[in-house]
Structure 1
Amino acid sequence: MSNFIFASPLEQFEIVALIPLTLFGLNFSLTNSTLFMFIAFLISSLWISLSLHKNSLVPNRWQLLKESIYEITSGIVQDNLGSKGQFYFPFIFTLHLFLLFCNLIGMIPYSFTVTSHISFTFGLALSIFIGINIIGLQTHGIKFFALFLPRGVPLLIVPLLITIEFLSYIVKVFTLSIRLFANMTSGHTLLKIIAGFAWTMLSAGGLLAVFHLIPLGLLIALIGLELAIAGLQAYVFTLLTCIYLNDVLDLH
Structure 2
Amino acid sequence: MAAEAGHGQEGGLTFHPLDQFIVRPLFGEAGDPVHWYTITNATLWIAIAVAAIAGLFVLGTARRAVVPSRLQSVAELLYGFIHKMVEDVAGREGLRYFPYIFTLFLFILFVNFIGLIPTSFTATSHIAVTAIMGFGVFIAVTVLGFVLHGVKFLGLFWMTDSPLILRPIIAVIELISYFVRPVSHSIRLAGNIMAGHAVMKVFAGFAAIALISPVSVLAITAIYGLEVLVAAIQAYVFTILTCVYLKDALHPGH
TM-score using structure 1 length: 0.88
Number of residue pairs matched by the alignment: 237
Aligned to 2:152: 143
104-113 vs 63-72, greater mean Cα deviation: 63-72
Distance 2:75 2:206 in 1: 38
- The answer to whether the aligner puts 1:4 opposite 2:7 as a matched pair is yes
Q: Indicate which of 182, 185, 188 corresponds to 1:179.
A: 188
Aligned to 2:94: 85
Aligned to 1:23: none
Letter in structure 2 aligned against 1:119: A
Aligned to 2:233: 232
Distance 1:88 1:240 in 2: 14
Q: Indicate which of 17, 23, 26 corresponds to 1:18.
A: 26
- SS of 2:112's equivalent in the other structure is helix
Distance 1:11 1:109 in 2: 14
Letter in structure 1 aligned against 2:226: L
Distance 1:193 1:75 in 2: 39
Q: How does 1:73-222 map to 2 (within 5 A)?
A: 73-153=82-162, 156-198=165-207, 200-202=208-210, 208=211, 211-222=212-223
Letter in structure 2 aligned against 1:118: I
Distance 1:50 1:201 in 2: 45
Distance 2:56 2:15 in 1: 34
Deviations 1:174-211, CA, capped at 9 Å, x for gaps: 1111110111000000110111111x124xxxxx2xx5
Aligned to 2:249: 248
- SS of 1:9's equivalent in the other structure is coil
Once the two structures are TM-superposed, the CA of residue 80 in structure 1 deviates from its matched residue by: 0.1
- Can you give the 5+ residue segments of structure 2 that lack an aligned partner in the other structure? 1-5, 9-13, 29-34
Once the two structures are TM-superposed, the CA of residue 41 in structure 1 deviates from its matched residue by: 1.1
Aligned to 2:31: none
Once the two structures are TM-superposed, the CA of residue 242 in structure 1 deviates from its matched residue by: 0.2
Query: Are the equivalent residues in 1 in contact too, given 2:26–2:39 (CA < 8 A)?
Result: yes
Letter in structure 2 aligned against 1:212: S
Once the two structures are TM-superposed, the CA of residue 216 in structure 1 deviates from its matched residue by: 0.7
- SS of 2:237's equivalent in the other structure is helix
Distance 1:159 1:151 in 2: 11
Alpha-carbon RMSD: 1.8
TM-score using structure 2 length: 0.87
- Can you give the 5+ residue segments of structure 1 that lack an aligned partner in the other structure? 21-25, 203-207
Distance 1:73 1:221 in 2: 29
Distance 1:249 1:192 in 2: 43
Deviations 1:217-237, CA, capped at 9 Å, x for gaps: 221121111011101100110
Q: Indicate which of 41, 55, 67 corresponds to 1:46.
A: 55
Distance 1:50 1:218 in 2: 37
Distance 2:85 2:74 in 1: 17
What percentage of residue pairs aligned between the two structures are identical? 40
155-164 vs 183-192, greater mean Cα deviation: 155-164
Relative contact order, higher structure (CA 8 A, sep 6+): 2
